[in-house]
Amino acid sequence: MVGLIAKKSGMSQLVLDNGDIVGVTWLSVQPNTVVQIKTLAKEGYTAIQLGAGQAKKSTKPRLGHLQKLDAKILKEIKVDDPSLYQRGDKVDVSVFQVGDLLTVTATSKGKGFAGTIRRHNFKSGPGGHGHDHHRQPGSIGAMGMARVNPGHRMSGHLGDDQVTMKNLRVVAVDQELARLAVRGSIPGNNKNWILIKKHA
Q: Three-state DSSP class for 48? A: strand
Please give the single-letter amino acid code of residue 112.
G
Residue type, 14: L
DSSP assignment letter at 86? -
Which SS3 state, helix, strand or coil, does residue 63 take? helix
Q: What is the C-alpha to C-alpha distance for residues 186 and 75, in angstroms, rounded to an integer?
A: 18
Alpha carbons 20 and 110: distance in angstroms, whole number: 33
CA-angle at 192, arms to 99 and 163, nearest 5°: 70
CB-count exposure of residue 105 (10 Å: 0-12, 13-18, 19+) = middle
Q: What is the location of CATH 3.30.160.810 in the chain?
A: 31-91
Q: What single letter denotes the amino acid at residue 69?
A: L
What is the pTM (predicted TM-score) of this model?
A: 0.84
CB contact at 8 A, 171 and 181: yes
- Residue 147 contacts residue 141 (beta carbons within 8 Å): yes
**Options 2.120.10.30, 3.40.50.1000, 3.40.50.11540, 2.40.30.10; CATH of 6-30+93-123+162-200:** 2.40.30.10
Task: Name the stretches of the chain with pLDDT < 70.
Answer: 1, 200
CA distance 56 to 65: 16
Residues of the chain with CATH 2.40.30.10: 6-30+93-123+162-200
pLDDT tens digits for range 44-76: 999 999 999 888 888 999 899 998 898 999 999
Q: Which CATH architecture has domain 31-91?
A: 2-Layer Sandwich (3.30)
